[in-house]
């Protein structure tokens, strides 16, 4: 599409979906275009300027639009404007597309994957900032990609991209791209695993000849896609065993799990192409504290460690921690992901006791039975209370680990994984404050 900046000038544009990305797209485009909005829900009164441009469902066919910007949460196949969108497919763009059209000359490093992408993006952004680069952390991590100000040619963008964002992005290109890992996720949206992989793969498929793509050396699904598709970018296979020496230099317990080491290895590979200072990089990694609710250590003593991994919404996202520790009290619950499977054998689970909370316990139990010792309770508070009671009766001298890695979505009882994680931390603080002398 030629002269794309001119295309987004003095045009009539519809934005569908008013989450963070939709609001930022409205603010970005409103100066030079006539922008209208539609949302399936009532628009928050605080967005007064936006609300004035709202179109009702019955009005939608009476308007002509030059472009339609859809938010990541919109599924074209299953939404109120499904017929309208299908009739206007060639006009659909995403915020990633708009960003690319206006920032083609900037270095962009885009990371996707099923697990670990937020943490990997945060680490890379910290490294770049510590080395005095003007680096911006944007995308699925919570900072909309069109919200950044004071951008110049030296600005580097570290983009976290979800499958929802990539699915309908047809023009977005990233100089550097990385697919950390792939396991079944969001199948309620993508319908099947193949569609989910296809959404992730668009990150590589859309790259130009000067692009560089980093993939896990043992990711057979992505390798097959590369072979069967016309790919222009240079493909780099990342093998964490080949950067073992560098990984061993990092004195930070946060990076001890195999999953974190695999994701961190991508940063070492990318760093070589960005010509980053290795000594400064290791210092950044040494001081990295992690993100809240992602393998977050909320209590640690000689006898007990409690880890909050509320971000975990699948078995695959819990597995690296289950491998890392012995004597684990594993708290599971929420809404199980469609098609998700627990891959551990009975032998692999000998060090784990599973505590399932919530109304979906039967689905978890079906996956875990005959492999692991299971108890189930009504809610998270009761579950944690029972674990603390059981800990008092555990007379072994070995250190115990309470692992809150739910392997399920949070929406049955919480607004999101952050709210669930915050609630867990509050419960832990209450229990520990009351019983601290027992666990020191």
What is the CATH number for 59? 3.40.50.720
> Are 182 and 81 within one domain?
no
pLDDT of residue 6: 73
Q: Are residues 158 and 253 in the same domain?
A: yes
pLDDT tens digits, 280-322: 999 999 999 889 999 999 999 988 999 999 999 999 899 988 9
Residue ending a domain, among 286, 310, 330, is 286
On whether residue 407 sits in a domain, the answer given is yes
In a shared domain, residues 378 and 398: yes
Residues 119 and 237 occupy one common structural domain:
yes
Reported as a pLDDT band with limits 50, 70 and 90, residue 369 is confident
Does residue 291 lie in a domain region?
no
- Asked if residue 214 and residue 321 are part of one domain, the reply reads no
Domain assignment present for 389: yes
> Cα separation of 13 and 372, whole Å?
54
What are the tens digits of pLDDT across the range 200-235?
999 999 999 999 999 999 999 999 999 999 999 999
The single residue listed with the structure tokens 């069967």 is 228
Is 193 in the same domain as 232? yes
CATH classification at residue 224:
3.40.1190.10
Residue 138, in any domain of the structure: yes
Residue 353 lies in a domain: yes
Q: Which domain holds residue 329?
A: 296-434
Residue 3's pLDDT band (boundaries 50, 70, 90)? low
Domain check: are 186 and 170 in the same one?
yes
Q: Which residues of 419-435 are buried (b: 16+ CB within 10 A; e: fewer)?
A: ebbbbbbebbeebbeee
Q: Which of 266, 286, 306 is the last residue of a domain?
A: 286
Residue 321 forms part of a structural domain: yes
Are residues 87 and 102 both part of a single domain? no
Task: Say how far apart CA 381 and CA 383 lie, in whole Å.
Answer: 5
Q: Are residues 53 and 37 in the same domain?
A: yes
Cα–Cα distance for residue pair 248/237, rounded to 1 Å: 20
Residue 267 pLDDT more than 90?
A: yes
Query: In the listed set 35, 61, 93, which residue is the last one of a domain according to the structure?
Result: 93
Note whether 114 and 238 are same-domain residues.
yes
Degrees (nearest 5) of the Cα angle 299, 385, 296?
25
Residue 439 in any domain: the answer is no
324 and 227 inside one domain: no
- DSSP annotation string for 302-316: SSEEEEE-TT--SHH
- 402 vs 189, residue with greater confidence: 402
| pLDDT score of 1 more than 90 | no
- Do 189 and 262 lie in one domain? The reply is yes
Whether residue 391 lies inside any domain: the answer is yes
């Amino acid at each position: 599409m030629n002269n794309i900046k001119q295309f987004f000038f003095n045009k009539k544009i519809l934005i569908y979906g008013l989450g963070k990305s939709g609001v930022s797209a409205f603010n970005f485009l409103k100066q030079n275009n006539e922008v209208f909005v539609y949302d399936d829900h009532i628009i928050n009164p605080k967005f007064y300027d936006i609300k004035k441009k709202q179109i009702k469902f019955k009005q939608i066919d009476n308007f002509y639009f030059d472009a339609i910007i859809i938010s990541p949460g919109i599924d074209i196949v299953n939404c109120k404007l499904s017929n309208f969108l299908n009739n206007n497919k060639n006009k659909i763009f995403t915020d990633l597309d708009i960003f690319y059209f206006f920032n083609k000359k900037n270095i962009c490093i885009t990371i996707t994957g099923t697990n670990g992408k937020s943490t990997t993006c945060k680490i890379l952004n910290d490294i770049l900032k510590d080395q005095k680069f003007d680096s911006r952390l944007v995308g699925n991590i919570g900072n909309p990609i069109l919200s950044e100000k004071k951008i110049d040619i030296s600005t580097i963008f570290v983009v976290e991209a979800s499958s929802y964002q990539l699915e309908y992005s047809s023009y977005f290109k990233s100089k550097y791209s990385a697919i950390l890992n792939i396991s079944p996720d969001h199948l309620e949206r993508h319908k099947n695993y193949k569609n989910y992989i296809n959404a992730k793969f668009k990150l590589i498929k859309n790259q130009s000849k000067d692009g560089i793509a980093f993939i896990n050396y043992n990711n057979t699904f992505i390798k097959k896609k590369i072979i069967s598709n016309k790919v222009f970018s240079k493909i780099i296979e990342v093998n964490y065993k080949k950067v073992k020496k560098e990984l061993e230099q990092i004195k930070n317990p946060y990076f001890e799990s195999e999953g974190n080491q695999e994701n961190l290895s991508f940063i070492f590979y990318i760093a070589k192409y960005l010509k980053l200072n290795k000594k400064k990089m290791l210092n950044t990694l040494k001081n990295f504290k992690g993100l809240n609710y992602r393998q977050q250590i909320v209590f640690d003593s000689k006898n007990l460690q409690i880890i909050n991994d509320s971000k975990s919404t699948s078995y695959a996202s819990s597995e690296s921690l289950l491998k890392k520790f012995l004597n684990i009290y594993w708290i599971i619950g929420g809404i199980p992901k469609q098609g998700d499977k627990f891959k551990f054998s009975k032998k692999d689970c000998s060090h784990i006791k599973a505590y399932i909370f919530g109304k979906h316990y039967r689905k978890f139990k079906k996956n875990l039975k005959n492999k692991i010792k299971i108890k189930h309770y009504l809610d998270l508070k009761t579950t944690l209370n029972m674990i603390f009671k059981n800990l008092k009766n555990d007379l072994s001298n070995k250190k115990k680990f309470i692992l809150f890695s739910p392997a399920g979505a949070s929406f049955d009882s919480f607004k999101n994984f952050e709210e669930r994680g915050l609630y867990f931390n509050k419960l832990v603080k209450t229990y520990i404050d009351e019983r601290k002398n027992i666990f020191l």
